[in-house]
Amino acid sequence: MQFLQPATWAEALEAKAAHRDAVPIAGGTDVMVGINFGRLRPALLLDLTRVADLRQWDTDDGAVRLGAGVPYARVITELGDRLPGLAMAARTIGSPQIRNRGTVGGNLATASPAGDAHPALLAAGAEVEVASVRGTRTIPVTEFYRGVKRSALADDELIAAVRITPPSGPQQYSKIGTRNAMVIAVAAFGLALHPARRAVGTGIGSAAPTPRRAPAAEEFLAGELDGLWDSRAELPAATAARFGELVAAAAAPIDDVRGTARYRVHALSVMARRALTWAWLDYRKGDPTCA
């Protein structure tokens, strides 16, 4: 097994162009598990941890540009106010050790339907900035996931950053696991209220071949909230319940060792209903974030 350690982003992109089968490694929380279990035997590992640019975040035209190599622990401590939904997702990930190593870029690159960051990214309407020696392009996260552990990334491309516009309203994130910490999602749900554009964002995890939105639920809720954004009036319980049903209806889960399809659908309806209830309460209190 060969091991490349580029020191700069340009070197990393050249290396990836020259060795398209190279497996990029950042935190290693997915790659090393695959190698240790004998499921992954890359001819070449491309270590990105020396590339300083990847480990930084910045604000750019109002949006947060989150370097692909920023670990979850820093998302929580440094960006909890700006990216509340993603920070809530990050808190549910693994153990402190995993959160110190694992990165949002790695989560995207693996593109597992169970990746914890995805529902938050979907709800927030994030964009993925990818690059190669050919240049840089931006992919809306909704178009990034292409199948089970498949993404829109070309074989010479690396993920540079994620761009997320800080929310104009509350965000929520919930995840089901069969223990109270350090668990892979049985089902997960991300919600973002966007009062500035009078829109609703959703994200579903672990309940379809890819992470996905629940467009019908988003449209329904945006319609219901049309008269409520300004009045900040109480949200009818029936609206929250219907929203939950529509989120659940957007899922296409399977039975596996972690849970049954029926449970996943049920759990999504409960999570979505509760998340909306909490988010709306926060909105009524005028609290833009709730992280």
Partner 1 sequence: MSAPTRTPAGAPSAVGGPGGRIGDDARRPDGVLKVRGEFAYGSDLWMDDMLWGVTLRSPHPYARIRSIDVGPALAVPGVHAVLTSDDVPGEKVYGLELADQPVLAFDVVRYQGEPVALVAADHPDTARRAAARIVVDYDVWEPVTDARVALGHPTWNQVHDSPAEVTELSRESADLHPHGNLVRHLKVRRGAPAPTADVVVVGEYEVGMQDQAFLGPESGLAVPGEDGGVDLYVATQWLHVDQRQICAALALPPERVRLTLAGVGGAFGGREDLSMHVHACLLALHTGKPVKMSYNREESFFGHVHRHPATMRYEHGATRDGDLVYVKAEIYFDGGAYASSTPAVVGNGGTMGIGPYVVPNVHVDCYGAYTNNPPCGAMRGFGSVQTAFAYEAQMDALAAELGMDPVELRCRNAMEQGSTTPTGQVVDSPAPVVELLRRLEAMPMPPAVPTGDDVDLRDMPGGVSNTTHGEGVRRGVGYAVAYKNVAFSEGFDDYSTARVRLEVVGGEAVATVHTAAAEVGQGLVTVEQQIARTELGVEQVVVHPKDTAVGSAGSTSASRQTYVTGGAVKAACEAVRGQVLELAQRGVGRPVADLRLDGGKVVSDVEGIALPLADVLGEEVVEETVEWRHRPTESIDPETGQGFAHVQYAFSAHRAVVDVDVELGLVKVVEMACTQDVGKAINPQAVIGQIQGGTAQGLGLAVMEEILVRDGRVQNPSFTDYLIPTVLDMPPMRVEILEYADPHAPYGLRGVGEAPNISSGPAVLAAIRQATGLPLTRVPVRPEHVTGT
Measured from the Cβ of residue 128, the count of other Cβ atoms closer than 10 Å reads 25
In the block, residue with structure tokens 């109002």: 62
- Residue 179 sits in the site that holds partner 1 (CB under 8 A): yes
98 lies in the binding site for partner 1 (CB under 8 A): no
- Selected binder of partner 1 within 92, 103, 107, 165 (CB under 8 A): 92
Dist. CA 267–CA 89, nearest whole Å: 17
Cβ 61 to partner 1 shortest distance, Å:
29
Fill in the per-residue mask, 18 to 57: x = in contact with partner 1 (CB under 8 A), - = not in contact: ---------------x--xxx-------------------
Helix axes 261-284, 237-249, angle to 10 degrees: 140
With contacts defined by CB under 8 A, name the span among 117-125, 143-151, 224-232, 262-270 that binds partner 1: 262-270
Q: Which of 75, 88, 117, 192 is close enough to bind partner 1 by CB under 8 A?
A: 88
- Residue 259 binds to partner 1 (criterion: CB under 8 A): yes
Judged by CB under 8 A, the residue of 61, 62, 178, 286 near partner 1 is 178
Please tell me the distance from the alpha carbon of residue 158 to that of residue 16, in angstroms, as a whole number: 8
Closest to partner 1 by CB, 177 or 201: 177
Provide the minimum distance between the beta carbon of 207 and partner 1 in the complex, in angstroms, as a whole number: 13
Q: Is 267 in the site for partner 1 (CB under 8 A)?
A: yes
Smallest CA-to-CA distance from 188 within 122, 234, 129, 139 is with: 122
- Looking at beta carbons, which pairs linking 178-182 to residues 24 or more positions away fall under 8 Å? 178/258, 178/259, 181/95, 182/94, 182/95, 182/98
| DSSP 8-class letter at 197 | G
Query: Which phi and psi (to 5°) does residue 186 adopt?
Result: -80, -35
Q: Which range in 61-69, 139-147, 148-156, 177-185 contacts partner 1 by CB under 8 A? A: 177-185
Written as one letter, the residue type at 29 is T
Query: Residues in the site for partner 1, rule: CB under 8 A?
Result: 33, 36-38, 88, 91-92, 172-184, 186, 257-260, 262-263, 265-267, 270-271, 274, 277-278
